[in-house]
A = this chain, B = another copy of it.
Amino acid sequence: MTFASAFAQLLDLVGTFAFAISGALVAVRNRLDLFGVLLLSFTAATAGGVLRDVLLGLTPPLAIVDWRYLAISIAAGLLTFFRHAQVERMRNPVQITDAIGLAMFAVIGSTRALDAGLGPGGAIMLGMVSGIGGGMARDMLVAQVPSVLKRELYAVAALVGAAVIVAGDMLDLPREPIAVASMVLCFTLRWLAIRHGWRLPVSGG
């Protein structure tokens, strides 16, 4: 139990780091200054969870209370700022850790929503918001259409992960194996989508 929750915390922080890297990369590409890079790191890493907590009325949000989110975001931001070329080249590891973060955040978000008493629809939504909110805020801060609305399956992977959590809860299944199953499914779906370029359709007009 303690080991499992420590492992979950580790994955949460790994995901936070990956999301922060994605924010910093977008910031550097858009020629933001050092402060802009750090702000986008932190925003990409935490905006999904912050929005989730605000919607649930759980204020102040975890990401502001727990200093580790800020510390990890700053570390990721500085690394990307000073070693931009190298970080850009590590595309594969960044995408893998980003997919881990997505899966982790979908699990944490939907669980937190269920614990706060939300129904199944709301819990799935907030699980998804936890996963995609950071990337959306990141893109909006550089005045671009959030890439999650256009690129390979991303929100759908978070949605599926959150739906597994909610279904497990409704069937009264034990939480930990379900959380693992949810994460594996979300991660695999996202990973296959990247490898095979799976996309959702666009309206035929």
As a 0/1 sequence over residues 69 to 82 of chain A, the CB contacts with chain B under 8 angstroms (1 = contact) are: 01000000000111
Contact flag A64-B203 (CB < 8 Å), given A125-B70, A149-B39, A156-B35? no
Question: How many angstroms between the C-alpha atoms of A156 and B36 in the bound complex?
Answer: 11
Stretch at the interface among A13-21, A52-60, A92-100, A184-192: A52-60
Q: Which of B122, B141, B149 contacts A35 (CB 8 A)?
A: B149
Residues of B with C-beta under 8 A to A150 = 31-33, 36
The secondary-structure label for the interface of chain A is: helix
Interface residues of A in 146-205 (CB under 8 A from B): 146, 148-150, 155-156, 199-205
Which of A74-115 touch B at CB < 8 Å?
Answer: 80-82, 84-85
Q: Is the CB of B121 within 8 A of A201?
A: no
Q: How many chain A residues touch B (Cβ–Cβ < 8 Å)?
A: 56
Cα(A34)–Cα(B155), bound, Å: 11
Q: Would you call A8 an interface residue if the criterion is a C-beta within 8 Å of the partner chain's C-beta atoms?
A: no
Contact between A39 and B155 (Cβ–Cβ < 8 Å)? Answer: yes
In the complex, the answer to whether A32 meets B143 with C-beta atoms within 8 Å is no
Identify A54's interface contact among B55, B200, B202, CB under 8 A. B55
Chain A 101-138 interface mask (CB, 8 Å, partner B; 1/0): 00000000000000010110110011000000000100
A40 to B146, CA, bound (A): 12
- Closest approach, in angstroms, between the C-beta of A109 and any C-beta of chain B? 13
Contacts of A30 on B, CB cut-off 8 Å?
145
User: Which 10 A-B pairs give the minimum distances between C-beta atoms?
Assistant: A36-B149, A57-B59, A33-B200, A34-B200, A28-B203, A64-B122, A67-B121, A32-B149, A81-B203, A84-B203
A–B complex contacts, Cβ < 8 Å, 20 sampled: A27-B149, A28-B205, A32-B145, A33-B150, A33-B200, A33-B201, A33-B202, A35-B149, A36-B148, A54-B55, A55-B59, A56-B60, A57-B57, A57-B59, A64-B126, A67-B121, A84-B203, A136-B141, A140-B140, A141-B149
